[in-house]
Amino acid sequence: MMYHRYKEDFKLEIKEYPFLCKLCKKEKALIEIPSQKIKVCKNCYNNFFENRIKKTIEKYKMILPQDRIGIFLSGGKDSSTLLFVLKKLYPDINLQAIFLNLGIKYYSEKVEILVKTFCENLKVPLFIYNLPEREGYRIDDFIFTYFKNKVCSACGAIKRYLFSKIAKELGLTVIATGHHLDDIVSTMLSLFFQGDFLGIAKLKPVLLPLSPNQVKKSKPLYTTPEKEIFYYAVLNEIPIENFICPHADKSPPKTIKKFLTELEEKNRQIKYQLLSVFTKKLIPLIKSNYKEETFNLCIKCGEITTAGDKICSRCKRIELLKKVDNKILELTKEEFENYIQNLNSDWVLIDLKGKENLLNESTKKLKKFFNPYKTRHIFLTSSQPEIGYLLALKLRKKGFKAYNVKEI
């Protein structure tokens, strides 16, 4: 018996059932197909899973034989499973894996190692784009801007720009993304609640390029439920990241995902029903009532934008970063000693030994502990530098001037 967990969302128990697979009726059943509520053997699970993806790819003409397909790997289960399945279904297609090292300290490095090993084992070429080296800033730097409590929003705009830039650099014709059924339906519902009907109409399985800078984007997992991706990844020993990005937040789609999971307990086809209502009924209605959005090309980077000033959201965010003079969040012991010489306000050095739990404390408790130092520069140190760094990030988000000091 094997027991697996993925973050807080999924757990899976794989065990040999005392009956045969409901599909082949030859092997012992090992795992349930959640959307079908039947227990099957490993082979039948894989066939069922892969065939549905193949049908989706063919139905929407997502991949053509002459295509050069790029997959941006995040280290998570969705993009890794997509790469694994595409390689298995189409061993001869021109596949290119890409990893964006976004400069999220103590996170990007770990994911990069995982992704490198995965691609080596799968024999798929990997291109690594190192954002700090190539563009001179990190996603962590947004902690010093107005985006400090919504770093994902800044990161999303940067990633969209990088998708196009790298696709061009590598001569890709398609970017295949790991968006799955749960992503699509929860985003549709979230946009519906916000009244963003045009946004719903854009959630297509294939997005054709809107400008010469873009390439076609396909979602081969469009009809695959998230839980089944997790089961497939575990069953096929696909390495999936269990590290959590320090900027990840509970977004509305995630709350809606939970709500959908609850609905699914009563009606296991609910996600497919909603997808069908949205795509067959609502989207055609939206299209016949709304004019297509007009867009311009950004005067700075050439990406498409709907902004009136013709400056895209990525370029606006980069401008914000340029206005920050001091982006120091982590110092070595020597740097710290020099730094405090030039400080013209009070500072405090806190050793986190025995206080590591502060990292998991509620905002209320964290504030109670650190409020006495609110006006000072707070330098944290720990024998585990990652803890000091993550806590410094957390404190910055709450308005404290916190830093991590290494090797002290």
For tokens 């130092």, name the residue. Answer: 373
Q: Which is nearer to ligand SF4, 34 or 156 (CB)?
A: 156
Interface positions, 88-147, toward ligand SF4 (CB under 6 A): 102, 139
Q: Which is nearer to Zn ion, 300 or 355 (CB)?
A: 300
Closest distance of CB 191 from ligand SF4, Å: 18
Q: Which is nearer to Zn ion, 33 or 162 (CB)?
A: 162
Query: Where would I find the H helices in 171-300?
Result: 181-194, 197-201, 226-235, 252-266, 270-276, 283-289
Q: Which is nearer to ligand SF4, 62 or 162 (CB)?
A: 162
Question: Is residue 301 a contact residue for Zn ion (CB under 5 A)?
Answer: yes
Q: 34 contacts which partner out of Zn ion, ligand SF4, none, CB within 5 to 8 A by kind?
A: none
Q: 122 contacts which partner out of Zn ion, ligand SF4, none, CB within 5 to 8 A by kind?
A: none
Question: Is residue 302 a contact residue for ligand SF4 (CB under 6 A)?
Answer: no
CA distance 186 to 250: 13
Structure tokens at 5: 């967990």
Closest distance of CB 236 from ligand SF4, Å: 24
Phi then psi dihedrals of residue 39, to 5 deg: -105, 130
Closest distance of CB 315 from ligand SF4, Å: 18
Q: 315 contacts which partner out of Zn ion, ligand SF4, none, CB within 5 to 8 A by kind?
A: Zn ion
Question: Is residue 151 a contact residue for ligand SF4 (CB under 6 A)?
Answer: yes
Q: 234 contacts which partner out of ligand SF4, Zn ion, none, CB within 5 to 8 A by kind?
A: none
Question: Is residue 321 a contact residue for Zn ion (CB under 5 A)?
Answer: no
CA distance 227 to 369: 40
- H/E stretch holding 38 reads strand 38-40
Q: CB–CB of 3/11 below 8 Å?
A: yes
Structure tokens at 8: 């807080």
Phi then psi dihedrals of residue 174, to 5 deg: -140, 140
Among 47, 128, 145, 156, binds ligand SF4 (CB under 6 A): 156
Nearest-5° angle of CA 332, CA 106, CA 322? 70
Calculate the alpha carbon distances from 86 to 50, 108, 178, 328 in Å.
9, 25, 11, 42
Q: 300 contacts which partner out of ligand SF4, Zn ion, none, CB within 5 to 8 A by kind?
A: Zn ion
Question: Is residue 247 a contact residue for ligand SF4 (CB under 6 A)?
Answer: yes
Calculate the alpha carbon distances from 365 to 357, 358, 361, 362, 394 in Å.
11, 8, 6, 5, 13
Binding footprint of Zn ion on the chain (CB under 5 A):
298, 300-301, 303, 312, 315
